[in-house]
Amino acid sequence: MTEHRSGPVRSAAAREAILSATARLLVDEGWDRLTIEGIARAAGVGKQTIYRWWASKGALVAECLLDGRFFAVEPAVGDTGELLRDLRDWLTPVLHFLNTTTGRSLLHSLVAAATEEAGVGAHLSDAFGADRLLADRLRAAVATGELPPGTPVDQLGHAVFGALIFEVLSKDEIDVPAFLDLVGFLLGPRPAAGEPETPGSPAEPA
Amino acid sequence: MTEHRSGPVRSAAAREAILSATARLLVDEGWDRLTIEGIARAAGVGKQTIYRWWASKGALVAECLLDGRFFAVEPAVGDTGELLRDLRDWLTPVLHFLNTTTGRSLLHSLVAAATEEAGVGAHLSDAFGADRLLADRLRAAVATGELPPGTPVDQLGHAVFGALIFEVLSKDEIDVPAFLDLVGFLLGPRPAAGEPETPGSPAEPA
Amino acid sequence: MTEHRSGPVRSAAAREAILSATARLLVDEGWDRLTIEGIARAAGVGKQTIYRWWASKGALVAECLLDGRFFAVEPAVGDTGELLRDLRDWLTPVLHFLNTTTGRSLLHSLVAAATEEAGVGAHLSDAFGADRLLADRLRAAVATGELPPGTPVDQLGHAVFGALIFEVLSKDEIDVPAFLDLVGFLLGPRPAAGEPETPGSPAEPA
Amino acid sequence: MTEHRSGPVRSAAAREAILSATARLLVDEGWDRLTIEGIARAAGVGKQTIYRWWASKGALVAECLLDGRFFAVEPAVGDTGELLRDLRDWLTPVLHFLNTTTGRSLLHSLVAAATEEAGVGAHLSDAFGADRLLADRLRAAVATGELPPGTPVDQLGHAVFGALIFEVLSKDEIDVPAFLDLVGFLLGPRPAAGEPETPGSPAEPA
DNA sequence: GGCTAAACGAGACGGTACGTCTGGTCTTCAA
DNA sequence: TTGAAGACCAGACGTACCGTCTCGTTTAGCC
């Protein structure tokens, strides 16, 4: 049974103006210069209207993220049958975007938001495409045998995205070829570690 | 040629009080509640004394990081000859620490600091031990043939740390066994892709 | 009595609830803490219902004043034939009431309301009783010759009330005997100012 | 021995700017539209600088009052030997000022301030001149015998001022001649009450 | 030992933003 | 059609910090 109440209903126009102002200001100004007052001003809205519906600026950013207001990601990772080639093709433009001022500062802002608001972190990799797109391609690779069965597909996506975040946070610029090499190493084929003759599998002693 | 001038010299007591107050307050209050005024108050110091020597609260945190005021890391990753066992032994207590309230919020705070201050990001993985300790052990593994020659050792360390950061930011709690499995997959032996039919696949797990 | 016709009607209950909440809140909280929202809440009424019928909180207070919702004044000033004695008997309890917290703050509130709303000022002295009761007794005194003919009776009432207001606004407490003495001086008999022999009246030279 | 403290000293420029903005805004906008933010804006000052030194907007107005920032009162009531004539000469321009928009709203504002801040009420009549100037003239009248000995001089000044306040609060406009008549009645000679039959009643007007 | 100058503690200053509260208007729904 | 409920824009409240700028004191070389 739905709760019935008299009175006006939430304004869709205000919601839209607030979220779109939030997304624009986060990109333009960055997380630490993003303020509720600034959003209200830019959206032509009273502050109370924001506080009525969102608990913090982090919650606003999380909702923008879910709405896909930051990235226009490639709809899917291609599938030529060669996993690494497909990943490189998909990752390369992403890495170059993250080497632009806008891209860098957007990622910085989103990570900063994630440190304050659990909801942002929870959806970060998905908004980025890692959860859906990348994991789907990895699953396909498992199906064709390019990756071994039992591969922790979702975790792998997170690891690649985590490495990416760390690269952006810790360096001035992503070294694109080096990053692609890393992905190649992480996901590519690899011999059983130099001691193929050793009877016991070295990775699982007991 | 040193510049000679009269007058008092930088107070070591003030520097120590400031850095130790910074480290304590970051752990206790978190990055966003860490304020210059609060540090000055806690350190019994004038604000100007802070601004004279550090450019921002990020710079303060970066210096604390370099001084190793946050972590007491294991001096080295053990070397039993089995890479994955050594990594697990080293990582397990770290992961459990990051599942405590203190550990979680400390990592959140440091990541937040890194989004604002390049210096923090630059030294984050090193302070954590990933650069020195982990990479050293990986290098040893390359030398003994546990890892193939040409393994991007430093990048691998960053990838593991990046995955860790992402795990903390995006989930309520690190799933320790799953994370150890991921590391096993990332660094462990793996059959050459694209030849799933190869009869004598050396490390086919199932 | 049940309402037995379709369609709502101007609610007398709402009017009563609003005015009684206004009076109670003005006494309890004071003028500056009296808010339309608070009245609506206390009366169980929508804000618009108040704005529909009254222009401001001042108008509400003015109507409460006219309804006599603040004072329960002595019905009349006694008439023993001695004006000053009667005035003292009537004024004394009033002055003591104005020395209580409630009385003080009520007068403060009403004066504050009067500064914002002409209607409050216009009826303040009347609601207090000065216009009707006091002036009636003064008129009687003129009739008996206790006061000279031509005495500005209404103005005198206002002057006494004005002195009272000023006393409350400017001091922590009314000095009751001193105030009664003042009234005695203002209304009592007085010789023609030290020069009884002077033929021309000193007060009106031309 | 004065209290010594290091650090900067209170800014006289800020104090002056704040008080002068307060006085101007109170006159221009009125008490209820006077805001701390508006004062800070007009004075080119941070809000905290106001809150540091004054507890409320009432305290600001009280200090303006003490500084004589509202009235430019006649330095003294004239003394021609005829009390009522002197009072009329002094009061007439004051009454006309209080019949202007500015004068009316200034008095309204000051009375409103007095209802919230004891300090304003305490100095209101003095700033107006009633305490010093009027009382001085009344004292002189007692000395020359124009007023009887024992006349409550200070209280009389307050009564006149109170009547004035009440007149402004309760009417649209002061009736200047009627008010002067009232003052004439309050302070002028008057026959002894209770002896209306006395034949040689010295100052029987009609 | 006096002089000079920097570093220190303290904190006032002009500001920005916070999160809360109220004002007055406008919208929806129930009776 | 009235009235309750309450969302809306607007903006003031008092607080917390920002980064800069005095102050008066303390201390370290140099004459």
CATH number of the domain at A55, please: 1.10.10.60
- The per-residue pLDDT for C191 is 56
Residues D169 and D102 in one domain: yes
Q: How far does CA B162 lie from the centroid of its chain?
A: 9
Q: Specify if A103 maps to a domain.
A: yes
Please check whether residue A78 is in contact with residue A133, taking contact to mean a CB–CB distance below 8 angstroms.
no
Residue pLDDT, tens place only, A143-193: 998 999 889 998 999 999 999 999 999 999 999 999 999 999 988 876 554
**Is residue B170 domain-resident?**
yes
Of the residues A107, A151, A155, A161, the best mutation for testing chain B's interface (the one with the most B CB atoms within 10 Å of its CB) is: A155
Helix or strand or coil: residue B17?
helix
Q: Which residues 26-65 in chain A have a CB closer than 7 A to strand E?
A: 33, 35-38, 46-48, 51, 56-57
Residue D199: pLDDT band with limits 50, 70, 90: very low
Q: For residue C71, give the amino acid letter.
A: F
Chain B from 97 to 156: CB within 8 A of any A CB: 108-109, 111-112, 114-116, 118, 121-122, 124-125, 144-148, 151-152, 155-156
CB-based contact, D35 to chain C, within 8 Å: no
CA distance C124 to C114: 8
Residues of A with Cβ-Cβ distance to B188 under 8 angstroms: 193, 203
Q: C61 and C108 share a domain?
A: no
Short-list C81, C80, C104, C74, CA closest to C164? C104
d(CA A111, CA C59): 55
Structure tokens at D199: 């034949």
- List per-residue pLDDT tens for chain C, 206 residues long: 333 444 455 578 888 999 999 999 999 989 999 999 999 999 989 888 898 889 889 999 999 988 888 877 667 888 998 999 999 999 999 999 999 999 999 999 999 999 998 889 988 888 887 788 888 999 999 999 888 888 899 888 888 999 999 999 999 999 999 999 999 988 877 655 444 433 434 444 43
- Residue C61 tokens read as 């207070």
pLDDT band at D182 (very low <50, low <70, confident <90, very high): very high
- Residue D153: how many CA atoms within 13 Å on its side-chain side? 18
- Asked if residues D72 and D103 have their Cβ atoms less than 8 Å apart, the reply is no
Do A147 and A95 share a structural domain? Answer: yes
Residue B173 at interface with chain A, using a CB cutoff of 8 Å: no
CA angle in degrees (0–180, nearest 5) for C128-C131-C133 = 80
Same domain, yes or no, for B41 and B133?
Answer: no
Q: Is residue B7 part of a domain?
A: no
pLDDT for the residue D18: 97
My answer on whether D156 and D107 are in the same domain is yes
pLDDT given at position C14: 86
Contact A111 B108 (CB under 8 A): no
- Looking at the 3D structure of chain D, how many domains does it have? 2
DSSP conformation letters of B88-129: HHHHHHHHHHHTSHHHHHHHHHHHHHHHH-HHHHHHHHHHHT
The alpha-carbon gap from C42 to the nearest alpha carbon of chain D, in Å, equals: 24
CA closest to C1' of F20 belongs to: B48
Q: How far apart are CA B159 and CA D173, in angstroms?
A: 83
B90 and B182 in one domain? yes
Q: Specify the DSSP class assigned to residue C4.
A: -
Q: Which nucleotide is nearest to B37 (CA to C1')?
A: F17
C105 shares a domain with C180: yes
Where does the pLDDT of residue A51 fall: very low under 50, low under 70, confident under 90, or very high at 90 and above?
very high
Cα dist. D77→D156, D162, D186 in Å? 15, 18, 18
The CA–C1' separation of D6 and E15, in angstroms, is 24
- Name the pLDDT band for A205 (thresholds 50, 70, 90): very low
Residues D61 and D87 in one domain: no
For residue D147, tell me if it sits in a domain: yes
Mutation test of the interface with chain D: which of C107, C115, C123, C174, choosing the one with the most D Cβ atoms within 10 A? C115
Question: Within this chain, do residues A167 and A112 fall inside the same structural domain, yes or no?
Answer: yes
What angle is formed at CA D79 by the lines to CA D77 and CA D85, rounded to 5 degrees? 80
Q: Are A49 and A92 within one domain?
A: no
Q: State which residues form the domain around D37.
A: 12-66
CATH number at residue A143: 1.10.357.10
Tens of pLDDT along chain B (206 residues)?
445 567 788 889 999 999 999 999 999 999 999 999 999 999 999 999 999 999 999 999 999 999 999 987 777 899 999 999 999 999 999 999 999 999 999 999 999 999 999 999 999 988 888 888 999 999 999 999 899 988 999 899 999 999 999 999 999 999 999 999 999 998 887 655 444 444 444 444 43
Query: Greater confidence, C191 or A66?
Result: A66
Q: How far does chain C reach from its first CA to its final CA, in angstroms?
A: 71
Q: Does some domain include residue A76?
A: no
End-to-end CA distance of chain A: 58
Tokens of C76: 């009349």
Protein CB footprint (7 Å) on chain F nucleotides? 1-30
B55 CA, E1 C1': separation in Å?
39
**Position with higher pLDDT, C10 vs D184:** D184
For residue B60, is it within any domain?
yes
Is A146–B181 a contact, with Cβ atoms under 8 angstroms apart? no
Task: Give domain status of residue D142, yes or no.
Answer: yes
The reply to whether A36 and A115 lie within a common domain is no
B118 and B143 share one domain: yes
Tell whether C198 is covered by a domain. no
